[in-house]
Homo-oligomer: A and B are copies of this chain.
């Protein structure tokens, strides 16, 4: 696991009507502060990458569909400098991924249905706080799967 990233399994309590899916509580060990909760839907095969945050920590969960979530650690003094990590997220692998600032992140919908990524971040969105690169930027050593 990339240094500072925390994976917390989450409860999904199903019955014949649907399911209740936990995400984040104020008394969770990974909760820092509330900045914003928003969603990103991703159609099958589509990629949203790459994103970087200077100060914001992310908390991702995927309550609908399946996502391949990818992280790259560019931090010069990190124990995991230069490493890439893939994490499978979705209703079958229902978990919270908490990501500190200073990493490049991206995700691809790998299921047959449109996926929903929820992000409960420590800061409200501020374009001046983040950076972006194209999903195939050569500075990040990761090749996304072929799109369907």
Contacts and interface: CB of A to CB of B under 8 A. Distances in A.
Interface of A: 16-27, 34-43, 46-48, 63-64, 109, 114, 116, 118, 120, 124-125
A45 to B, nearest CB: 9
A21 B37 contact: no
B43 A24 contact: no
A66 to B, nearest CB: 14
Contacts of A41: 18-19, 21, 63-64
Contacts of A48: 17-18
B26 A39 contact: no
> Interface SS of chain A: helix, strand, loop or mixed?
strand
Copies of this protein in the assembly total 2
A114 B18 contact: yes
A20 to B, nearest CB: 5
Contact of A40 (B19, B118, B125): B19
12 contacts: A17-B43, A17-B47, A18-B40, A18-B42, A18-B114, A19-B40, A20-B38, A26-B124, A34-B34, A37-B120, A64-B116, A118-B118
Contacts of A47: 17
B63 A39 contact: yes
Contact of A38 (B22, B27, B124): B22
